[in-house]
A and B are shown apart, each in its own frame.
Chain A
Amino acid sequence: MSSYVLLAGYAAGWAVVFGTFVSVYHRRKQAALAQLESWFPEHRERELYYALTDAGDKVPSATLQSALIKRAVTDVQRAIELQTKKQTLSALVKAGSIGEDVWTQFQAAEAELENEMIDIVQEANTIRPGWGQGIFQIASEILGHQKIRELQTKTERREQGAKDVQIRYKYYFDELARKRTEWQKDEAARVPFVTPRDKSDDEN
């Protein structure tokens, strides 16, 4: 009799162990999925576009169109990023340099972007029939311009920063300039020095 009790207890014990294992595993997996951040930051242009469509008929069609183009620009930018990174990422994940979860993120982003692009084409066609084919063309041109402009502002900002530094640390640069004129005088007074290297060159 007691051996049956023991057997039942043993089986129950294992059932508990396996149950715990399975539940812990799934809970952790769920938590990891929930924690999985998206590849891209939030899509502000899309939010703006939907906010405008929700506002109803008050919004003029031109505004809606430009909002959609802006949304398409962001999507083109993202598509280019995903396309250029895909091969390298898969190589890195295979090599073990990057974790699997980044790959999961990437695939989620890809799937989302695909839906997003289909969505844009549909929206474009509802605003103006036949516009769906051309919108990404326009968007990529705008993107090119945008990049050039960004580069320009970056350079301008750096130049401005350098100018500011010159003004802010004027005392130091003035002192340096003073020292330099001194050194220059000092050097000019000296007989020109010939390095051994120069000499050997002369011989040859």
Chain B
Amino acid sequence: MKYTFDESGVGFNYYLLSFLVLTVVPTTLSQLFARVSRNNAPKTKKHYTLKQRLDQKPLVTKKLLFIVVGWAAIAYLVNQVLNTPVEPSTAWDPFDILGVSTGATPGEIKKQYRRLSLQWHPDKVDPEVQEEAGDKYIQITKAYKVLTNDDAREMYEKYGHPDGRQTYEMIIALPHWLVESHTSPFVLAVYGLLFGLLMPMFVGRWWYRSMRLTKDGIYNKTMGLFFKELKEGATVPDILELLTASTEYTLNPGYQPEDDKTIAKLAERVKEEVERVSGEAFLRSEKYPSDVAYKVKVLLYAHLYRVDVGEDRLREQQQIVVIKALHLMVGIQHIFEAYSWLQPTFYAIEIAQMLVQAVPQYDSPLLQLPHINRDVVEEVSFRKPMAASIFKLLDLEKSERRRLLHCLPADQYDEAVSVMNMVPRIFLQNPTFKVIGDSIITPRAIITFTVDITLNGVNAPITPVTPKAPKMLVDADRMDLNDVELSDSKDDGVDRLMANPQALLAKVPEVYAPYYSLNKHSFWWLILGDPKSNRFTLSPIRITDLSSSKAIKVQFQAPNSPGTYALTMFLKSDSYVGCDLRQKLEFVVHDASELPYESEPEDDISEPEADSLAGQMAQMRNQQAGGGNQPDEDTSDDE
């Protein structure tokens, strides 16, 4: 056997080419799709849009450079491969040498051999081609021998050549210059540099960078601080104050020398507004007195209380602060959830609502609407204390609503009403607790909780009022379903479907949030818990695909002892203030002995199968009739 190196470089080029294609093509694809997904500009009105990209990527990234260079290299290599002549390594074929077709008869072969041997006989050709002719003559003779002599034929059939086994050639797909002795120090050096230095360096850098961040992309230091400081009695101002001390904010937006003046000036105005509205003192934090923390606090409160920060530089930084704060709230909520604290988790969710809508705690949800400022809210809530929520306002008669909002000009009023209709209004139906396969809930059984959630407020078009449909008021540009009570289960099914034409529209609506500069979609949190003990029954579940209606199904373990258990189901928006729903529920846990007697599974096949099926049906009917779960009829909008 003989080893040679790839002189022409074709094999090596093929190897390089396949390697390049395998890396460059996926990178290119990912780059292309990243461009598409990043293009999600908000469709609702924004007061200010962020100019700076938060991930801060330059136009020409390393990835882009790699793609360009990669494709160039591929083009070059393809060109090389196409232009390098490859010697065809043909097998030794006696018919080909004699120039006869494969199935030629011995007569034909003999005739052709005669002709060729006369033509190529070394004594008969010109002296200058004598050598070539000699070779050719030998080949011709050999071919003839193979086709006529049995021994030679056997040799040929076994080894592919009448002379027996030929040398076997292996070409290693490495160019010759790579293995020549005088280049070996360089090759070694490059290899050593690559695997000894660059690779550990990159791995190390990646490792240490990833060690600084948690799974949620928050700095370890920040999460450590959050964990140390958060207590069960944490209030909204406490949490906001804690946010300002995050490491994230020291990096971006940080504190610039020119902030000395601007922040002090802004703080004056923020202080006045905050103190007047909330009645709480607004001061530099005693716990986190750093300049950055104070600046972030001022910007954050300026956002919540809608104090104009005056200049675009601060506006930009304020948006960064708010967007980051929403991210940090994820971490804070994780901590609360790990403790299974109910009220603090609500605060965390509510802070997210407040940040998206720029509405402070305990303030009117009407502030989410356009053109409605605090003075208008003051008047509306004084004149009609019952109408201080968006839905109550919508339920009023048209003229009455117009009167309450008389200070708005007609166009502003129309805009406000159209946004009112965008605010999601949620309805619950058929909350049930059930143990699958059993008629009653026994201690420690796995309870399956199901509930249907229907969303009616989102751009609901006018639906034809059918005689069977529940009482509806068609007003402005929205149909009102307020009169469909939760307990009203006889009108279920068809009517509900008809009232929900957007059931087909499987798209989660965008949130109307003019003070939050990013595109935000409306998601929901489902929480089961007991407000008295301030604990969850079940960790919050995030519902991200609620566009019209959805059946939710969750499971948890029943308590250890029989009795009636009350728990409350909370449905909270992650982006609107004042749309949350709370529903008191209860379920009864029976003693295990009350379970109908189930015989041990028997081997006896004689029992008719229809019987057991009927039994199952009966059991199912039982379950539907009485699960011991009678929902209370009070549904109240949270706050």
Interface residues of chain A, those whose CB is within 8 Å of chain B, are: 6, 9-10, 13-14, 17, 21, 24, 28, 39, 85, 88-89, 91-92, 95-99, 101-102, 105, 158, 161-162, 164-166, 168-169, 172, 176, 179-180, 183-184, 186-187, 193, 195-197, 200
Contact = CB atoms under 8 A, between A and B. Distances in A.
B43 interface: no
A52 B383 CA distance: 66
Interface string B471-485: 101000000001100
Contacts of A85: 227
B224 A105 contact: yes
A99 B211 CA distance: 8
Given A6-B184, A95-B215, A102-B220, A165 B276 contact: yes
Contacts of B382: 180, 183-184
B396 interface: yes
Interface residues of B, number: 42
A13 B192 contact: yes
Contacts of B215: 95-97
7 contacts: A17-B196, A95-B215, A99-B211, A102-B224, A161-B281, A162-B279, A183-B379
Contacts of A91: 338
Contacts of A165: 275-276, 279-281
Contacts of B184: 6
Given A21-B200, A169-B275, A196-B473, A99 B224 contact: yes
Given A17-B196, A99-B211, A195 B220 contact: no
A96 B217 CA distance: 10
B535 interface: no
A186 B204 CA distance: 73
A152 B397 CA distance: 47
Contacts of B338: 88, 91-92, 95, 97
Given A6-B188, A180-B382, A183-B382, A13 B220 contact: no
B223 A97 contact: yes
B214 A98 contact: yes
B335 A39 contact: no
B501 to A, nearest CB: 24
Interface in B211-244: 211-212, 214-216, 220, 223-224, 227-228
B378 interface: yes
A101 B338 CA distance: 19
B220 A14 contact: no
Given A17-B192, A28-B208, A98-B227, 9 more contacts: A6-B188, A9-B185, A21-B200, A92-B227, A164-B281, A169-B275, A179-B378, A183-B382, A197-B395
Interface string B180-206: 000011001000100011001000100
A39 B227 CA distance: 11
A186 to B, nearest CB: 8
Contacts of A162: 279-280
A49 B266 CA distance: 45
Q: Which 7 pairs between the two chains have the least Cβ-Cβ distance?
A: A99-B220, A96-B215, A17-B196, A102-B224, A161-B281, A162-B279, A169-B276
Interface string B107-128: 0000000000000000000000
Interface in B374-412: 378-379, 382-383, 395-397, 400
Contacts of B473: 196
A71 to B, nearest CB: 21
Contact of B216 (A28, A97, A169, A193): A97
B534 to A, nearest CB: 14
B196 A172 contact: no
Contacts of A176: 378
